[in-house]
Amino acid sequence: MIEPREGGSESTARDDGLLLVWEVEGGERGAGDVTHCEVTAEKTMLDALASLSEGRGRVRYARLSFVRIGYEYGTTLVTAHRADGATISVAGDAWEGVR
């Protein structure tokens, strides 16, 4: 499992090759991106999720795979669910239980 170094600073993430991947999906729509900053990843994920009437989103750590195609995913930092005009976020991985 991929974990950040102690301190969790943005520069440490860059130095380690650690990335943050955010993604949202709802109905036929979805979005996602990659960044080095936890705050940017969470804010952008929540903004994208807010544009949907319902859906789910998450932010998780990742590194490029050793063959540099695709990612190796690590810990999920936050999972969010949107329904009935409200978004609920929980720390950690609740992706499978949220639709």
pLDDT single digits (tens) 49-89: 999 999 999 999 999 888 878 889 999 999 999 999 899 99
Report if residue 30 sits inside a domain.
Answer: yes
Could you tell me the two tokens for 37? 């900053």
Q: What is the DSSP letter of 48?
A: H
Q: Which of 71, 75, 83 is nearest to 59 (CA)?
A: 75
- Overall number of domains in the chain: 1
3-state class (DSSP) for residue 8: coil
- Domain with 79, as residue range(s), is 10-91
- pTM for the full predicted model: 0.78
Could you tell me the two tokens for 88? 């609920």
Report if residue 98 sits inside a domain.
Answer: no
Residue with tokens 């409200």: 86
User: Each residue of 7-44: pLDDT tens digit?
Assistant: 544 444 555 789 999 999 998 999 999 999 999 999 99
Report if residue 1 sits inside a domain.
Answer: no
Report if residue 86 sits inside a domain.
Answer: yes
Report if residue 68 sits inside a domain.
Answer: yes
